[in-house]
Structure 1
Amino acid sequence: MVSKGKANVGKGKSSTKRGVDTTSRVKTVTQPKKTAKPKNEKKKEGKSAKSNSAVNKGIYPSADIAFKALLSARFCAAMWSNISDCDETFNYWEPSHFLLYGKGFQTWEYSPEYALRSYTYLLLHVLPAWIYANILQPNRMLIFYFVRCLLGLFCAFCESYFYKSVCKEFGVQVGRLVLVFLLFSPGMFISSTAYLPSSFSMYMTFLSTAAWIVRKYELAIFSVALSTFISWPFAALIGLPIAIDMLFIKKYYRKFIQWAVISSVIILVPIIKMDSELYGRFVIAPLNIVTYNIFSNNGPNLYGTEPICFYFINGFLNFNMVFIAAIFAPSVIEERFLFPVYPLICLCGAICIHSMQVIYSVLISMIFGKNSQKLPSSRFISIITAAGVVVLALSRILALYKGYHAPMDIYMELNKMHAEGKVDSNVPVNVCVGKEWYRFPTSFFLPNNNWNLKFLQSEFKGQLPAEYSSLGNATAIVHSYFNDMNREEPSRYFKIDQCHFIIDCNYGRETKLEPNYDKQTDKWTPLVTIPFLDAEKSSTLFRSFYIPFVTADKCSFAKYTLYKSNSFKLIENQ
């Protein structure tokens, strides 16, 4: 971890006692009588003092200003970020939709036979959504964005506390850089409003790290415990430096044990009670997921594994120069598994860049001596770095939105048709997906419970989610069709002749199980088509970063399309 030295900023203030400045009292005795200075010199000093005061105020955004800026960035993410992982959809949004409306998809992880996921984490999000839904009764899609905005609000709060602590401990120079990285990094844009346990662990990393570096150990321990038990057990590793600091450096044995026990009891007991009630048997979900991933023969090898180079590529795309800097800072699977360390990447990157400024200043002083004051300040290093980070970050965010936002836009069209009265609200409507099943955003994008998402057989040979039972004890029912081997389950497939709509992407490639519906004009009519990036046919550089007037020429786009069955008639508005 980064060493925690006291910042020198603001340490030169005189000591006071009961409001009396004792230092100034000494100065009046020891200093010789001041001689009068010319008026023009006094004016210069006054201007200089005002200038320094203005600079100090301008270069140090307060925690309130930082919070407002971060909140604006997080609300932008809530509105415009994509759902980048089907795990977010089917393991979190879908069970939440079921808890709210009695309908949604269930994955094998939520089967009582395995019980790998905690319903407690879901209830933290479902409760405010339920209150909002019952008071205002909005469109379900608005509830989706409401929950996202709540996530953004909480993330901004955690980030602002982190920023304040960094400024206090490492200085405002490091704090300013951290704030810039948090505001503009694509990694934060993606993770800040993602409905994933790893995002919650990221929030807790902000809190635990911020509390630790300002010596608020109780909050640090409690935050790590929240992260471990409520969201992601493996995030406990992030608390290891805190434990080492308290036990082996500070020797706070009693405080550590006391708060570790208190936190575990306060958090774990309600989790066990709520999960056991919903699963219909005694369940410790955090223990189950650790056991599955470490001791099971299947474990993570079936899901979410990537080569080591993926992490470096992903780190650069999400943090560009910040990630490179973080690698060289003092030491401290899939993309979502990196979310909990994003705060540390931002901090380490900022410390590294500030260290480069210090090294530059020392070298200049050694080479040029007193004349070094006439040379450019080391501030240009942070300015150039921050500018580069912002440009690359915005380019990456635009590339993600323009390339991959089509699925969410297409599903919004279903709500539009329903709102315009083109589909009878009392008639069951089947919306079918084949190879694009994993880009389904969530059932919150379907108008009501009469609209059903159905799976068509495709070249995908893994296990698809199943609908929750309509019975009252649906969360406690053990189904024989779930397995932990990612083995294909044919009972999930739906007959295409019973589909009213199909959502598919035409990449110009087709097989028997994944046909080109554009050619089947006798059966299907395209209603809405939106460009969708075809990564295989596009330049790696220009699909990763959006460059106006260039990306469109260097990248290939498929057609993400909403098709209507010719046998299904829409209601014409009079």
Structure 2
Amino acid sequence: MIIQPHHPHTPTDIPPSADDTRTDQATGHRNHSSASSPLSRERKTPTDSTMLPAGVQTIRFRKPTTGSDASKAADSSEKLKAGRHVVVKDTLIAEQINRNRPPWAPKLSVAFRILVLVRFCAAMYSSIQDCDESFNYWEPTHYLVHGKGFQTWEYSPDYAIRSWFYILLHSLPAWLASKAFPFDKRPGFFAIRAMLAFLSSYTEAKLYRAIADHINARAARYYLSMSLFSAAMWTASSAYLPSAFAMQAITLAYSYVLEPVSSKAFSGRRTFFSCLFFVIATVTGWPFVGVLALPFAFEELSLYGDDEVMPASRPGWAASRFNRLFVCGLGCLILISAPLVLVDWLAYGKLLFVPLNIVLYNVFPEKFGSGGGPELYGTEPPHFYLLNLLLNFNIVFILALLAIPLVLLTSRFSKNRGVRLGQKIRLANQTPSAQLLIIRLVPVYAWIALMSKQSHKEERFMQPIYTLISFNAAVSLSLIRGWMEDIFVHLTSSPYRAGRTSIFSTFTRTVILTSSCIAVARILALQNYYHAPLDLMFHFQYNELPVRAIQTHPAEYANLRLNTSQPILEAIEHAETTVDLGPLAKEKLTLCLGESWFRFPTQFLVPDPINVEFVKTGPFAGILPSKFPSLPTKGQFDGTRQEKLNPQQPRSSNPLSEWLWRRKGTRTNGGKFNTENKEEMNRYVNPQTECDYAVGLNYPHRRAGWRGGEFEDPQSWEPRHCVPMLDAQHTPTWARTIWLPLSWWSDAHVGNRKGKLSFGELCLYKRTPRS
């Protein structure tokens, strides 16, 4: 044995990491020769120019260090421990190989910029999937901003199960757009969608960073990839729905929930912000999503987390935890509820708490005069959500359902479970990493089970857990990769080779790439099959109406100096000008909606001089929206019925509320309403006398009673523009699920079943001149 002096600044008391230790297959001895570890290279470096013979052991002594020498030695030791200045965080899922070189994960700002590119495209091009979004949210917003809009029974002061506070929050971008573009309402529509896209991008990026910091860096990357190309997130990110708003608030809440609970001073931030966003999701968004906060509350009150609690101190610990949760929860509830109650008091003219009304209507519908409640609007089988989520998430949904079983298997059977489920060795009185992880995976299962028990089901009801589904799937994929690494190391006895092979990365990339391709094909299907309503409204505003305005009021457009030798549309495009449709207000034109009324997007896409009405053309016998009592401004037309209507006087209120809330129509009923989905005949107008344009569907393959074509009378109506739209009833499920760039798949025409696709037409009709 040779004793050598040691430089005071050279740290030698660092234990070798697991990655530095390998078994020599020839001798069976353990050695430290991993090329991935800077510490192992430091140990192999000889201390002098003389090479020592094999088998000679050395001992090096460190002389005492004081003052600046001690701090320098400590700094040097910390740098080596970090492994090339890379700090490895303590996460609930740890790496088995290359633990001193954590996977690359982009920063929050980088993730946000990546997400916002895709979400902004969705805001610009995605269609409106639900008529509830059109009539319950876009139309009230249109009324606040422009003074006219459709009113559903939910906004009747007699029932009041929709909050105007939620509408007011979203109306600001549209109001600003109306000031910047006073002659065009379309920018207001896209301003709201752009705001929703930016908000969704930030919440997703925030959750991504929380996963990287507290769960696992690889899982965070998987989540980012899954969420980025998700067909579900394509529609939900810019959807103007309380369920989508709740999704964004829940996502922010879980970006704080992922941090393990603790009673330390700084952990109060986790409790406060989690409570704040859960309350925002529940009170401002959708009351039923409060269920998703129960696992968080259970963890706060029952699990030690990072606390080390002795049995004797448990009562005081429990009281402290309860007080913290109660104070944060109550404070956030008051903070969010106060402005909501104030706005709804101003809007409805009476004091009420709308979230409570929503719960009462769904639980006790008889209190609202309804014998059936939400079931009146349709019921679905228990497996509806499973199939729908499989359609929207494909492979990702299957992985999400495997999350908890994989955690349990890993905790029970993995030889490296102490590494796989947390680097830090948790003390006996602390909560195991597996339990902390499971409590974060439970919400997806709980929400699906709860909503599947309800008879009335809608696709949008799953939106609050969309981001959590991707999170569960990312955890599953990370654990599956961990099991593959364990098996590889067991078979090869070489963590070093496991760290160099590309098998694991190839597997995870294949899973994510396959899922992304299916998701993109689903997005393209939605765009190609169901985008007709937005396309038709664009043609109506920028093609049909400008031509009519110039032809019927040529003197009003003399200053445009159009080339009269060209067709009007070509001349307008060549002049690079936007035609002011104000002169059309003199004609009091009406656009009528037939059996396809539920596909109407919003009056934001219909110019102000045009009125929109319903006509009775088919077997539909449910209740349709009425109109808010309105006082149209100059250049607006809201129908002759509104001019003759003498609505009930607004509810009495004090002068302050009169000054604060100018849209008094929110305090009255624009028509007769009921909660039993019974048809009200005063919603319809006579198509022969009051309609100038109409929108109708034509399905050639359907039987006569349901094929549409209500305006196909050449004596009365002239088709002006038609857009193909998929006939879902006559197209197989597998064919309408995705879109593929194949000629036999994508070249089907209306009335021609080339391949398996069947198309109809959504058409704009113009009334022929009356003789």
1:344 is aligned to 2:537:
no
- The residue type equivalent to 2:114 in the other structure is A
What's the offset of the Cα at 1:308? 2.1
- The residue type equivalent to 1:280 in the other structure is G
Alignment of 1:5-404 (within 5 A): 26-27=11-12, 34-35=45-46, 59-137=104-182, 139-214=184-259, 216-250=270-304, 251=318, 252-296=321-365, 297-303=371-377, 305-330=379-404, 331-332=441-442, 333-370=457-494, 373=498, 376-404=502-530
1:501 is aligned to 2:693:
yes
SS of the residue corresponding to residue 503 of structure 1 reads strand
CA distance in 1, matches of 2:120, 2:84: 39
CA distance in 2, matches of 1:505, 1:32: 78
SS of the residue corresponding to residue 505 of structure 1 reads strand
Structure 2, gaps ≥5 residues long: 1-7, 16-41, 50-82, 86-96, 261-269, 305-317, 366-370, 405-440, 443-456, 550-582, 632-662, 747-754
Q: Percent of pairs identical after alignment? A: 32
What's the offset of the Cα at 1:141? 1.2
What's the offset of the Cα at 1:511? 4.5
CA distance in 2, matches of 1:564, 1:279: 39
The structure with higher relative contact order (CA 8 Å, sep 6+) is 1
Change (3 A) 1:90 1:350: same
Note the alpha carbon deviations across 1:533-561, whole angstroms, 9 max, x for none: 01122122121011112423321111111
1:566 is aligned to 2:757:
no
What's the offset of the Cα at 1:475? 0.9
CA RMSD of aligned residues (A): 2.8
- The residue type equivalent to 1:385 in the other structure is V
1:462 alignment counterpart: 622
CA distance in 1, matches of 2:533, 2:247: 27
What's the offset of the Cα at 1:223? 0.1
What's the offset of the Cα at 1:432? 1.1
SS of the residue corresponding to residue 425 of structure 1 reads helix
CA distance in 1, matches of 2:693, 2:183: 25
2:720 alignment counterpart: 527
CA contact (8 A) 1:106 1:467 kept: yes
CA contact (8 A) 1:543 1:551 kept: no
CA distance in 1, matches of 2:530, 2:708: 22
What's the offset of the Cα at 1:478? 3.9
- The residue type equivalent to 2:505 in the other structure is R
What's the offset of the Cα at 1:146? 1.0
CA contact (8 A) 1:537 1:556 kept: yes
1:12 alignment counterpart: none
SS of the residue corresponding to residue 548 of structure 2 reads coil
Change (3 A) 1:422 1:156: same
Q: When the two structures are superposed, what TM-score results if normalisation uses the length of structure 2? A: 0.66
Change (3 A) 1:364 1:515: closer
- The residue type equivalent to 1:540 in the other structure is T
What's the offset of the Cα at 1:137? 2.6
Q: Which has the larger radius of gyration?
A: 2
CA distance in 2, matches of 1:231, 1:150: 16
Aligned residues: 536
CA contact (8 A) 2:102 2:217 kept: no
1:17 alignment counterpart: none
SS of the residue corresponding to residue 532 of structure 1 reads strand
Q: Which moved more, 1:420-429 or 1:532-541?
A: 420-429
1:536 alignment counterpart: 729
CA distance in 2, matches of 1:59, 1:34: 30
SS of the residue corresponding to residue 112 of structure 1 reads coil
Note the alpha carbon deviations across 1:284-335, whole angstroms, 9 max, x for none: 1000000000122422212364222221111011111000110111242211
2:534 alignment counterpart: 408
Note the alpha carbon deviations across 1:19-75, whole angstroms, 9 max, x for none: xxxx9753399987932899xxxxxxxxx989x99x979832221111001001110
- The residue type equivalent to 1:501 in the other structure is Y
- The residue type equivalent to 1:135 in the other structure is A
- The residue type equivalent to 1:249 in the other structure is L
2:431 alignment counterpart: none
What's the offset of the Cα at 1:131? 2.2
CA distance in 2, matches of 1:499, 1:478: 24
Note the alpha carbon deviations across 1:504-558, whole angstroms, 9 max, x for none: 1110236469752574212111111111001122122121011112423321111
What's the offset of the Cα at 1:151? 0.4
Q: When the two structures are superposed, what TM-score results if normalisation uses the length of structure 1? A: 0.88
CA distance in 2, matches of 1:501, 1:280: 37
Note the alpha carbon deviations across 1:463-490, whole angstroms, 9 max, x for none: 0000111265211114661000011111
- Select 1:490's aligned residue among 656, 681, 687: 681
Change (3 A) 1:536 1:512: closer
Change (3 A) 1:462 1:157: same
Change (3 A) 1:33 1:352: closer
CA contact (8 A) 1:500 1:568 kept: no
Structure 1, gaps ≥5 residues long: 1-22, 39-47, 570-574
What's the offset of the Cα at 1:568? 7.2
SS of the residue corresponding to residue 159 of structure 2 reads coil
